[in-house]
Amino acid sequence: MTSGDAIQRMAEALADVPEADRIEALRGLGAKEREQAPRPERRTPLPAPRQDSGIVSAVEWV
């Protein structure tokens, strides 16, 4: 029996068991809760460029 077969048999056996009982059974086998992967931070988009003629850019285009 491969590990994949064993996992499939466990999944089938636990399919009809309530979630709380399933969690306890898996903890008894040594399973740990899965850590949440960090969510990527949402970045605020840059504001639309202003049409103010009083702003002078320090970049010179050549």
* Model confidence pLDDT, tens digit, residues 7-19: 888 888 888 888 8
Q: What pLDDT, on the 0 to 100 scale, is given for residue 57? A: 67
Angle in degrees, CA 6, 24, 11, rounded to 5:
25
pTM of the full structure: 0.39
The CB-based long-range contact list for 7-13 (8 Å cut-off, 24+ gap) reads: none
Residue 56, Cβ neighbours under 10 Å: how many? 5
Whole-number Å distance between alpha carbons of 16 and 53: 69
**Secondary structure letter of residue 46 according to DSSP:** P
Q: What pLDDT, on the 0 to 100 scale, is given for residue 60? A: 67
Judge contact between 14 and 25, C-beta under 8 A: yes
